[in-house]
């Protein structure tokens, strides 16, 4: 009833004051024009005052605050595909603070940092609103250990070297020697897998003269592969 009476009262006032109604209509029509002029003036003077940049910062700050109040905060981080990469290394790359707005998270920046980790070959970083961050990684496949003087490194299938502090989990991998051994490792091991009776006994191999392999088996047996098999 109050709404109806209020509407009737507005109508009666409008009827009594047609000039007032016309003024309201004109103001509504001109409001977008005034707004456009204000924005234009704001943009014109911004290079000298920095107001646009300050305005952007203020708006972004308010959006972040509103998102936190609405529950858009990171409280769940899912790691998929992690085997040899340390969880602490991924957390360090993400650097999410408890209660941080999920809108502040930059997936591209995190993606770049994670793919710089030694074991990570590919990474996908996704924000699942309102509160979940999903990190999916594909790790490099360790196939052998490369010995260079007294230094030992893991070799992946593409010949990429991975520095690790603890080689114990990889002690069953063959040890390869030779300057070009990492780049040729996958081809050698693929060749040896065609002969299971031999491949299961391989403990290492040496790339000789940039031309061929000497393969070492358990029991001190050495097989000199011909160049034609390289």
Q: What letter does residue 229 receive in the DSSP assignment?
A: G
Rounded to an integer, the average pLDDT of 84-107 is 89
pLDDT tens digits along 122-175: 999 999 988 899 999 999 999 999 999 999 999 999 999 999 989 999 999 999
d(CA 108, CA 176): 37
d(CA 122, CA 116): 10
Going by C-beta distance under 8 Å and a sequence separation of 6 or more, which residues neighbour residue 218? 201, 203
- For 129-178, where are the E strands, in sequence order? 132-139, 142-148, 151-156, 161-162, 175-177
How is domain 76-139 classified at the CATH fold level? Ubiquitin-like (UB roll) (3.10.20)
pLDDT at 50: 56
Q: How many helices (H) and strands (E) does the chain have?
A: 7, 10
Q: 3-class DSSP state for residue 156?
A: strand
Rounded to an integer, the average pLDDT of 35-53 is 51
Lookup: tokens for 190: 């693929």
d(CA 146, CA 183): 10
CATH classification code of 142-229: 3.40.50.11690
Going by C-beta distance under 8 Å and a sequence separation of 6 or more, which residues neighbour residue 134? 77, 78, 80, 124, 125, 126, 127, 128
Q: How confident is the model at residue 185 (pLDDT cuts 50, 70, 90)?
A: very high
Going by C-beta distance under 8 Å and a sequence separation of 6 or more, which residues neighbour residue 4? none
Rounded to an integer, the average pLDDT of 221-227 is 93
pLDDT at 13: 37
pLDDT tens digits along 1-43: 333 333 444 343 344 445 555 565 555 555 555 545 544 554 4
Beta-bridge partner residues of 146: 153, 176
| pLDDT(87) > 60 | yes
Lookup: tokens for 12: 């009666």
Lookup: tokens for 50: 């920095």
Q: Where are the domains of the chain?
A: 2-49, 76-139, 142-229
| pLDDT(178) > 80 | yes
Rounded to an integer, the average pLDDT of 215-230 is 91
pLDDT at 105: 87
């Amino acid at each position: 009833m109050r709404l109806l009476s209020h509407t009737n009262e507005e109508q009666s006032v409008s009827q009594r004051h047609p000039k007032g109604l016309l003024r309201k209509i004109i103001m509504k029509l001109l409001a977008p024009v005034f707004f456009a002029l204000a924005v234009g003036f704001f943009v014109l003077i911004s290079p000298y005052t920095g107001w646009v940049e300050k305005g952007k910062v203020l708006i972004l700050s308010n959006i972040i605050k509103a998102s936190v109040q609405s529950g858009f905060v990171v409280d769940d981080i899912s790691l998929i595909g992690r085997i040899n990469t340390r969880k602490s290394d991924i957390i360090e790359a993400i650097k999410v603070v408890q209660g941080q707005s999920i809108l502040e998270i930059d997936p591209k920046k995190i993606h770049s940092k994670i793919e710089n980790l030694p074991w990570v070959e590919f990474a996908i970083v996704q924000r699942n609103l309102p509160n979940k961050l999903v990190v999916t990684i594909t790790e490099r496949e360790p196939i052998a250990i490369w010995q260079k003087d007294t230094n030992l490194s893991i070799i992946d299938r593409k010949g990429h070297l991975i520095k690790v502090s603890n080689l114990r989990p990889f002690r069953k991998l063959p040890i390869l020697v030779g300057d070009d051994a990492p780049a040729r490792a996958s081809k050698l091991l693929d060749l040896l897998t065609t002969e299971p009776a031999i491949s299961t006994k391989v403990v290492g191999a040496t790339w000789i003269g940039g031309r061929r392999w000497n393969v070492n088996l358990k029991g001190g047996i050495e097989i000199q592969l011909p160049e034609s098999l390289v």
